[in-house]
């Protein structure tokens, strides 16, 4: 997406490619015509924006790319961990849950939100507190998560109780 910076007349390009498709216009076009932040110049056949507006979108698109890399890496790790499941809808539901918790109206914190959510999800789904066997069922995994949460919530030092919890985490009864 070609821009002319209004203060300097300099031409710059913004680009965000997702899955081989340039999505820059799809994303940035929300700002075209809003408060004059970005306008299309028919004569120059390019968009015009202030240096600050261009810098904002450049930073956001770079962060968006990094956020997608973080999510892709986490998704790959989830697939590797749960390779024994019959279908991968479980992994897709985890990723969708992360997407649904991102405040898409807050462009400036998008990347930080994704990193924070993935960090929390990594602890829950891939953390060392839950031993997940490759062929563990979804129900068994949910029980393991519940057991881990119960264990975290209780501050009991009772060794019998802790041994019982550890047995449930490994899928034993």
| Spatial distance between the Cα atoms of 33 and 7, rounded to a whole number of angstroms | 18
Centroid of chain to Cα 90: 16
pLDDT band at 131 (very low <50, low <70, confident <90, very high): very low
Average pLDDT over residues 4-13: 95
- CA-wise closest residue to 72 among 110, 118, 27: 118
- pTM reported for the whole predicted model: 0.60
pLDDT at 26 over 80: yes
pLDDT of residue 4: 95
**Between 12 and 134, where is the model more confident?**
12
pLDDT at 31 over 70: no
Average pLDDT over residues 118-131: 71
Centroid of chain to Cα 150: 27
pLDDT band at 87 (very low <50, low <70, confident <90, very high): low
- CA-wise closest residue to 30 among 55, 10, 53, 5: 53
58 by DSSP, 3-state: which? helix
**Between 171 and 113, where is the model more confident?**
113
pLDDT band at 170 (very low <50, low <70, confident <90, very high): very low
Burial 105-143 (b: 16+ CB within 10 A, else e): eebeebbebbeebbeebeeebeeeebebeeebeeeebeb
Average pLDDT over residues 86-103: 80
């Amino acid at each position: 997406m070609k821009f002319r910076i209004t203060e300097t007349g300099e031409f710059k390009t913004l680009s965000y490619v997702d899955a081989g498709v340039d999505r820059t216009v799809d994303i940035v076009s929300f700002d075209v015509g809003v408060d004059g932040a970005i306008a299309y110049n028919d004569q120059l056949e390019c968009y015009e924006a202030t240096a600050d507006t261009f810098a904002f979108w450049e930073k956001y698109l770079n962060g968006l790319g990094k956020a997608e890399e973080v999510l892709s890496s986490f998704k790959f790790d989830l697939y590797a961990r749960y390779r024994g499941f019959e279908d991968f809808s479980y992994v897709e539901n985890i990723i969708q849950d992360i997407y649904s918790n991102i405040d898409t109206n807050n462009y400036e914190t998008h990347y930080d939100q994704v990193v924070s959510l993935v960090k929390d999800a990594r602890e829950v789904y891939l953390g060392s507190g839950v031993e997940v066997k490759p062929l563990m069922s979804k129900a068994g995994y949910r029980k393991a998560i519940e057991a881990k949460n119960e264990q975290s919530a209780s501050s009991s030092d009772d060794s019998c109780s802790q041994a019982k919890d550890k047995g449930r985490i490994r899928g034993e009864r």
